[in-house]
Amino acid sequence: MIEIAGVSWTYPHAEAPALRDLDLRIAPGEFVVLCGASGSGKSTALRLMNGLVPQFHDDGILSGTVTVEGMVTTDVELDALGLVTGTVLQHPRRQFFTDNAREETAFAMENFGFPRDEIRACVEATIADLAERVPIEQRLQHLSGGQQQQVAIAAAAAHDPRILLLDEPSSNLSADAVHRLTATLAELKAQGVTIVIAEHRVRYLQDLIDRVVVMRDGAVDIEWTAAQFRAVPDELLAKEGLRGEVRLPELPVLPAAGRSAVEPTQVGNAPSGTLLLAGIRCQLGGRMVLDLERVSFAAGEVTAIRGVNGAGKSTLARIISGLQKSASTIRLDGRVLNRRARQRVSTIVMQDVQRQLFTDSVQAEIDLAAVDAPTAPDPAAVLAALDLDHLAERHPLSLSGGQQQRLVVAGVRVAGRRIVIFDEPSSGVDRRHLQSICDQIRQVATAGAVVLLISHDDDLLALAADRQLTLTPPASERQLASVHAGRNR
């Protein structure tokens, strides 16, 4: 049982409360989805349930009472709440305590003092299941964002908590991984686990949910039963800032010969602004994660980089931007760029944008990004377009995940770089702000940059992409890739 009674909460240094007189009751075994626009309080509500609010943010202001499994969260230690709850953060690398999947799975059970034989049996069963879709021998930092998320989910559920809390669990997952996530949640629900998920994409869960709770301004705005939610049209979901069904149109396919990812005519006399990659090979932990013979990207276009989790999408982004060493030859305008040169002409929106926030205000963050960008658009106009102008004096770390995402997108927009990479830029973003992000991506391309867009979000790709490069994990020694082309806006 989870009971939140009249709770208001204000984060340290925040001017306005994140939650306002929140009342919410979740019965044992219930499957509840919390949704709503970015900044509506979904993630904060989850932090109430596992005790991180207020025990981790102890300088904030709390009123009201939160009771979890009979425990008042302000009266017990975090480990007591951790024993009955499992939590998966939106960016799972923030919650890892070890360096590999086996140790991470065992970590919570070891801290709770489970018998050694029980830990060993649980870890072996969990790792056997994970090994079918995650290279468990790899260090966690070398896994893709989606693979890290799958490890985090497995580790959070390993000690059999009665309550599982997940924050945007589908945000970095490929379609096949979402299907596996759904199956895993169905199994946990059948076992009687209480499941609470904060999400913007809700349709994939509609056969599992018992209730959908829509939040607005830190309080419950609407509640739907499962039957009511299935009858809700996409138009109403859009009004509430939620995602409905989307079908990405088929794009014409360009033929590719052998390991080459482009037609020969694209390689020879490349037009001005073309980014040409050749011999891209990268190993991490002794494992080949990317082996791409040749591909080119045109300035003024948005190329979507697609593929299953672990196909090498983020690795390719790091190589192009000079953040990752590799055997490769990379040319822009026909000139070979070494790693340092690529760092000077590139900018990237990472999956975990909190690592890219350096200053003490939104305004300072955007001003820093615009330094040495003589042709940058008006920073104030970019902030307004991304609905951040009213937050100009806020500390970036006090923003919601979606607001932080939009802030880093704004910084990239004003940086004026020749190569711009967006790695899952719609993670944690509601439907209304998705369009504003798409508009900024398109404007970066219109300004003449080479734009690469890594995403599993078909909503985003349908609005922003011109063509796509699909990567597959190396089956043997080769990284297979196919390039598709066509305007898709």
CATH (domain of 443): 3.40.50.300
- 68-87: per-residue pLDDT in tens? 999 999 999 999 999 999 99
Indicate whether 381 and 293 sit together in one domain.
yes
- Residue 360 phi/psi, 5° resolution? -105, 10
Indicate whether 120 and 159 sit together in one domain.
yes
Domain count, the chain: 2
Residue 256, domain member (yes or no): no
Indicate whether 12 and 158 sit together in one domain.
yes
Report d(CA 283, CA 286) in Å as an integer: 6
Residue 253, domain member (yes or no): no
> What pLDDT sits at residue 387?
93
SS3 434: helix
Indicate whether 310 and 200 sit together in one domain.
no
Residue 254, domain member (yes or no): no
Residue 232, domain extent = 2-239
Residue 246, domain member (yes or no): no
Q: What is the pLDDT along the chain (489 residues), one digit of tens a residue?
A: 999 999 999 988 788 899 999 999 999 999 999 998 888 999 999 999 999 999 988 789 999 999 999 999 999 999 999 999 999 988 888 899 999 999 999 999 999 999 999 999 999 999 998 988 888 988 998 888 888 888 999 999 999 999 999 999 988 788 888 888 899 899 999 999 999 999 988 889 999 999 999 999 999 999 999 999 999 987 888 777 776 665 555 543 334 323 433 333 333 455 678 999 999 999 887 788 888 888 999 999 999 998 888 889 999 999 999 999 988 899 999 999 999 999 999 999 998 898 899 999 999 999 999 988 877 789 999 999 999 999 999 999 888 888 899 999 999 999 999 999 999 998 877 777 888 999 999 999 999 999 999 998 888 888 899 998 888 887 543 333 444 444 444
Report d(CA 24, CA 311) in Å as an integer: 41
Nearest to 409 by CA among 431, 387, 393: 387
DSSP strand pairing (450-454 vs 419-423): parallel
E strands within 93-206?
163-167, 194-198
Question: Which pair of tokens denotes residue 370?
Answer: 């615009």
The structure tokens 């593929």 sit at 307
Question: Which pair of tokens denotes residue 232?
Answer: 């809700």
Total-model pTM = 0.78
- 157-216: per-residue pLDDT in tens? 999 999 999 999 988 788 888 888 899 899 999 999 999 999 988 889 999 999 999 999
Nearest to 109 by CA among 49, 155, 68: 155
Q: What sections of 399-485 are H helices per DSSP?
A: 401-415, 431-446, 458-464
| b/e code 405-415 from CB counts within 10 Å (16+ = b) | bbbbbbbbbbb
Domain end among 239, 274, 301: 239
Question: Which pair of tokens denotes residue 259?
Answer: 């390991």
